[in-house]
Amino acid sequence: MKRYLILISGRGSNMESLLDAGLPGVCAAVIGNRPDAAGLALAESRGIATMVIDHRGFASREKFDSALADAIDHFAPDLILLAGFMRILGDAFVERFSGRLLNIHPSLLPSFRGIKTHAQALAAGVRLHGCSVHFVTPALDGGPIIAQAAVPVQAGDDEAALAARVLIEEHLLYPRVARWFLEGRLQLLEGRAHLSDQIAVEGALHVPQLAPQFAQRNSA
Ligand code: GRF
């Protein structure tokens, strides 16, 4: 059975969606970089090993990265899933786990990297927003894209409304991609996400139903 490990910083709703998905693998541990990350208690309540590596206890980013990497290796995971993990990881860390490190980002990459993605999308006036799952490389939110889900931006949306609509899709998309990886149908090859033929047919883009006003117009 393959082993996966989840890194979190906060609420842990993406972590929960992964744990609830019945993935073909064992969750070896959940590691947080903040002792108060709510997701840690949730993982513990499900009998999953948890660990805190508090970034504030380290003199440098490199020292934190190295302690985190050693902790991860202790659990010997095949797959590492960043799920709302809000620390930038250095090149050495990323290269150490290259090909088995995934992230979910709340935008349609390559648009809106970094933080406050929903505010960025509203400010830009895009009509389509969403989330992306990608392999992690040293370029922040710039690694090869694996799959995306798109949602419409609706008139009157504020940051919270848009974030909530995207989060629903995050919770569907991330477990799907994690399953592909654990089933051996997804790998990083020559800097690109390589999906098995079957996944290519199923589609790595998920576009939920259009908002009712658009659907109506399209069927008229
Ligand atoms: C999610 O939107 C994730 O994509 C982003 O931060 C949020 C974390 O939420 N990076 P949660 O901790 O998974 O509930």
Among protein residues, the one with the nearest Cα to ligand 1's atom 14 is 13
Number of independent structural domains in the chain: 2
Q: What pTM does this model have?
A: 0.93
Among 71, 97, 123, the domain boundary falls at: 97
How far apart CA 90 and CA 212 sit, in angstroms, is 44
CA distance linking residue 52 with residue 64, whole number of Å: 12
The structure tokens 């390589």 sit at: 194
Q: How confident is the model at residue 197 (pLDDT cuts 50, 70, 90)?
A: confident
Domain boundary among 61, 80, 97: 97
* CA-12 nearest atom, ligand 1: 12
- Domain containing 1: what range? 1-97
203: CB partners within 8 A, 6+ apart:
none
Lowest mean pLDDT among 54-58, 61-65, 93-97, 214-218: 214-218
pLDDT tens per residue across span 136-178: 999 999 999 999 999 999 999 999 999 999 999 999 999 999 9
Same domain? 68 vs 123: no
In this structure, the answer to whether residues 218 and 196 fall within a common structural domain is yes
Q: Which of 105, 118, 129, 134 is catalytic?
A: 105
* 171 a catalytic residue: no
Show Cβ contacts of residue 23 under 8 Å, excluding neighbours closer than 6 positions.
4, 175, 178, 179, 182
The answer on 89 and 37 residing in a single domain is yes
Show Cβ contacts of residue 187 under 8 Å, excluding neighbours closer than 6 positions. 99, 181, 193, 194
Our mutation pick for probing the ligand 1 site, out of 82, 102, 104, 172, counting the most ligand atoms within 8 A of Cβ, is 104
Ligand 1 centroid, distance to 35 Cα (angstroms): 17
